[in-house]
Chains A and B, each alone.
Chain A
Amino acid sequence: MPAGVAIDTGVAKSIASTLMAKWQAEHPDVDWEADERASRTFVPAHDNSDLIGEATQAEGHTYRNVTELDTLLWKRETEKAVVAGSRVFHSGDELGSTIAVSCDMCHPNAANTHPETYPKYQTQLGRVALLRDMINWCLVHPVRAEALSADDPKMRALEAYIISQRAGKTLAYGKH
């Protein structure tokens, strides 16, 4: 890390914990993650266990000396962000819908969200859009909620879930 750059703990705070803190305070007896995992189908995060072990080239370095604990941490935290996104995606309340509509009504398992096609020229918007622009469009229009700012934990969580559901699709930016 270059000198003088401190880790911003505010930013480093995980998507999931930011998002779930309030909800958890209201439902202290529910394990939100277990509950959400039981309700939906998730694609597991990439398994990095092939990196574990004697890292000969990295001898003497900390970076790339991967232990099982590392891979478990990566997987756990990544999937947690995705599961948090699923909660938002499936809840009209979390989305702030004024008409009780949630994303899964039209996009079960994030079908037809095509994150792998962004950035692309979105004809109806008349400009190149990122995934979040179209998330916001659907939020405002079919869902009738307020748009989210790009760094809103809910927006980040939605992106995480949508992308995870399309794992394995070939990136094809610009595809219609």
Chain B
Amino acid sequence: MTNDDDQTNGPRRGRGPRSVETVYMEERAAVMQALPRLSRRGFMKVSLGAMGAAAAAGVTINPHSFQPIRFVPGARAAEPGAAAGDVGGGGFRIAYISDSHLYKKELNDRFVRSLLRAVDDVNAMDPQPDFVLYGGDLAQLGQPEELDLGAEILKSVKAPLHVMVGEHDWYFDMGERWRRHFGDDNYSFDHKGVHFVVINSVVEKDFWTARGMSPMERMKTVAGLDNGKQSSFTVGDANRAWLAGDLAKVDKGTPLVVFSHSPLYKLYKNWNFWTDDADEVQALLRPFKTVTVIHGHTHQVLTNRIGNISFHGMLSTAWPWPYAPEGLPEMTIQMNRPDPFNPEDGCGDGSVIVHPDGLVDKVYGLWNRNPMTVSAKYMTSGGEADRPKVPNAKSY
């Protein structure tokens, strides 16, 4: 089982250095493996045995209730290489990792291990992606040691890496440490005929000075998704001016892919699933023939289409967010509600297949589940064709 969580912290259950999650997942695995081989009577025996072990460990579980995850064997390993065929002449693939929310590892090594898992995923892709995008929120509280740790881990990504900033990286020192590691927060580059833009969309107007907040108080305020003291995300005048200038140099027929941390539309203001100047930003993108926005921050499968612009979210490696209680775009096919009994469920990484025409397939590499693809065909048909499978556990 890959789920050996946290060797150093947390309650122990009298079984050496293994964590509650480790013990729990081992028991769950043992039961699941045993299931197919058993008659009903044998099954009851195993169940009771496992329950006894669990009870001794102080955890109450009922093994017969474990719902095995239907997982296409080898799907994850095969996925990157297998789909390369789909890419066709001139198409290419990029990979993404996002929202790792690292604390220093002495405090929380679960999040560190999840980022490592994502890096392994991406490094195992065959063929390798043309580049890897890191989608922001590398750190949890913008601490220098958190960003240093993240930067160090990301050094082991084999393919070229582009990093985007998230609010958790920024609001302790207003991006100073982040920029020292990763350079400008707005930049663009061309790759195989596609114009890529990375833009800082987490600019909040000053809510801290008047309240006399320390840098840490400011950071913690922004770090709370449902903290209403903060302002809304914007790209802001300065970054928008930069974007306008950058795009002015690009032919309108050139496929455009924009990476932003927040979704560049208005979904749910209370959680900053929102960009306040989204209308102005979209106006800059609209003249282009083919536009895709790939964003972080929402930690879930999230799909939207506004005019000719396709929007795709990225998964987090740390935890999944619930869906917003209102405003969910019609194009979004939800991912299944995550299993709270597995800290990596609902998390993952993924890739983006860019077709020769600049349209993209967005692949959500959900850990522990089959990957979910939101294809260009689904997007351009307005959700008519190539619909991803609908989950049975929708949010409510």
- Chain A positions near chain B (C-beta within 8 angstroms): 38-41, 90, 98-101, 104-109, 111-112, 114, 123-127, 137-138, 140-142, 144-146, 176
Query: Cα distance A104–B64 when bound, in Å?
Result: 31
Question: Is the pair B65, A124 in contact by a Cβ cutoff of 8 Å?
Answer: yes
Cβ-closest chain B residue relative to A176: B393
Q: What 0/1 pattern do residues 221 to 255 of B give for CB contact below 8 A with A?
A: 10011111100000000000000000000000000
Question: Is the pair B108, A40 in contact by a Cβ cutoff of 8 Å?
Answer: no
Question: Is the pair A141, B21 in contact by a Cβ cutoff of 8 Å?
Answer: yes
| Interface segment, one of B123-131, B314-322, B375-383 | B314-322
Cβ-closest chain A residue relative to B63: A126
Residue B20 lies at the interface, judged by CB distance under 8 Å to chain A: yes
Q: With A39-B229, A98-B9, A140-B20 in contact, do A125 and B61 touch (Cβ < 8 Å)?
A: yes
Query: Cα distance A107–B11 when bound, in Å?
Result: 22
Question: Is the pair A112, B60 in contact by a Cβ cutoff of 8 Å?
Answer: no
Partner of A124, one of B62, B323, B337: B62
Decide if the interface of chain A is mainly helix, strand, loop or mixed: loop
Q: With A38-B229, A99-B10, A126-B60 in contact, do A138 and B107 touch (Cβ < 8 Å)?
A: no
Question: Is the pair B322, A124 in contact by a Cβ cutoff of 8 Å?
Answer: no
Partner of B340, one of A39, A41, A137: A137
Question: Is the pair A109, B110 in contact by a Cβ cutoff of 8 Å?
Answer: no
| Residues of chain A within 8 A of B39, CB atoms compared | none
Q: With A126-B62, A142-B343 in contact, do A108 and B21 touch (Cβ < 8 Å)?
A: no
Question: Is the pair B340, A99 in contact by a Cβ cutoff of 8 Å?
Answer: no
Question: Is the pair A141, B228 in contact by a Cβ cutoff of 8 Å?
Answer: no
Interface size class of B (residues with CB under 8 A): 35 or more
Query: Cα distance A38–B217 when bound, in Å?
Result: 14
Query: Cα distance A40–B228 when bound, in Å?
Result: 5
Question: Is the pair B108, A101 in contact by a Cβ cutoff of 8 Å?
Answer: yes
- Give, as a whole number of angstroms, the nearest-CB distance from A122 to chain B: 8
Extra contacts, 6 of them, besides A124-B66, A141-B21 (Cβ < 8 A), are A39-B228, A41-B226, A100-B103, A111-B323, A125-B61, A126-B65
Question: Is the pair A99, B9 in contact by a Cβ cutoff of 8 Å?
Answer: yes
Question: Is the pair A144, B340 in contact by a Cβ cutoff of 8 Å?
Answer: no
- Give, as a whole number of angstroms, the nearest-CB distance from A136 to chain B: 10
Question: Is the pair B62, A125 in contact by a Cβ cutoff of 8 Å?
Answer: yes
Q: With A99-B9, A106-B321, A111-B322 in contact, do A39 and B103 touch (Cβ < 8 Å)?
A: no
- Chain B positions near chain A (C-beta within 8 angstroms): 6, 9-11, 20-21, 24, 51, 60-67, 103, 107-108, 110, 140, 221, 224-229, 270-271, 319-323, 325, 337, 339-341, 343, 393, 395-396
Question: Is the pair A38, B228 in contact by a Cβ cutoff of 8 Å?
Answer: yes
Query: Cα distance A139–B359 when bound, in Å?
Result: 44
The interface centre, meaning the residue of A126, A142, A146 with most chain B CB atoms within 10 A of its CB, is A126
Query: Cα distance A144–B108 when bound, in Å?
Result: 10
Query: Cα distance A146–B63 when bound, in Å?
Result: 23
The interface centre, meaning the residue of A90, A108, A125, A127 with most chain B CB atoms within 10 A of its CB, is A108
Question: Is the pair A112, B395 in contact by a Cβ cutoff of 8 Å?
Answer: yes
Q: With A99-B10, A111-B322, A126-B51 in contact, do A40 and B62 touch (Cβ < 8 Å)?
A: no
The interface centre, meaning the residue of A39, A40, A106 with most chain B CB atoms within 10 A of its CB, is A106
Question: Is the pair A39, B224 in contact by a Cβ cutoff of 8 Å?
Answer: yes
Q: List 20 A-B contacts (CB under 8 A).
A: A39-B221, A39-B228, A90-B226, A90-B227, A100-B108, A104-B225, A105-B225, A106-B319, A109-B271, A109-B325, A111-B395, A112-B395, A123-B65, A124-B62, A124-B341, A126-B51, A126-B62, A137-B340, A141-B20, A146-B11
Query: Cα distance A52–B140 when bound, in Å?
Result: 49
Query: Cα distance A111–B300 when bound, in Å?
Result: 14
Partner of A98, one of B10, B67, B226, B343: B10
The interface centre, meaning the residue of A101, A109, A127 with most chain B CB atoms within 10 A of its CB, is A101
Question: Is the pair B226, A40 in contact by a Cβ cutoff of 8 Å?
Answer: yes
| Residues of chain A within 8 A of B319, CB atoms compared | 105-106, 142
